[in-house]
């Protein structure tokens, strides 16, 4: 995918937009701050379903982020719609199921080409294990594990955007 003139718009997508995708949004914003891309890349998140539209992030998500020093933010879950493809340059799915659903939702081939798995930016991740698991039904450790995965992938994403912007 070619890098476009600022702002470059990224949307992280998971199931309900209360755990994984808002975590990725916060981590990416934090990593972009102070880089050459600060202000040139806009980051957001959404969910595939409408179950949590309008809700804040899961309290365990907020706790895991807070424990690692990330700022709180006024998150409100929203649903990703087909029209959102026109508003984003890169759509990052948190697991293969999300990628498949987004591909079906994409209005055309150019939109489908915007979809990538977030963990594909983590050079240490196995190509056979690129899913960020849903921590919703688990405990605190699941949220911490998810945060580890997302931090590694977002570091790779930001490095890719800084060093190879045309590869987006």
Active-site positions?
14, 20, 134
Instruction: Please report, to the nearest 10 degrees, the dihedral formed by the alpha carbons of residues 153, 157, 163, 165 taken in order.
Output: 160
Residue owning tokens 């963990």: 119
Supply the Cα-derived Rg of the chain in whole angstroms: 15
Angle at 41 between CA 54 and CA 63, to 5 degrees: 45
Question: In sequence order, what DSSP letters do the residues of 93-106 get, joined into one string?
Answer: ESSHHHHHHHHHH-
Question: In sequence order, what DSSP letters do the residues of 113-127 get, joined into one string?
Answer: TTEEEGGGG-TTS-T
């Amino acid at each position: 995918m070619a890098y476009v003139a600022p702002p470059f718009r990224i949307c992280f997508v998971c199931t309900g937009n209360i755990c994984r995708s808002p975590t990725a949004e916060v981590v990416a914003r934090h990593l972009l701050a102070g880089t050459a891309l600060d202000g040139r890349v806009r980051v957001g998140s959404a969910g595939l379903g409408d179950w949590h539209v309008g809700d804040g992030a899961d309290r365990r998500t907020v706790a895991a982020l807070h424990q690692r020093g990330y700022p709180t933010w006024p998150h409100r879950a929203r649903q990703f719609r087909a029209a959102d493809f026109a508003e984003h340059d890169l759509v990052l799915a948190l697991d293969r199921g999300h990628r498949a659903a987004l591909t079906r939702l994409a209005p055309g081939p150019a939109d489908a080409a915007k979809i990538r798995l977030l963990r594909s930016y983590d050079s240490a991740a196995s190509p056979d294990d690129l899913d960020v698991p849903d921590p919703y039904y688990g405990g605190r450790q699941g949220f911490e594990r998810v945060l580890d995965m997302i931090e590694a992938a977002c570091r790779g994403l930001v490095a890719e955007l800084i060093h190879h912007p045309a590869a987006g």
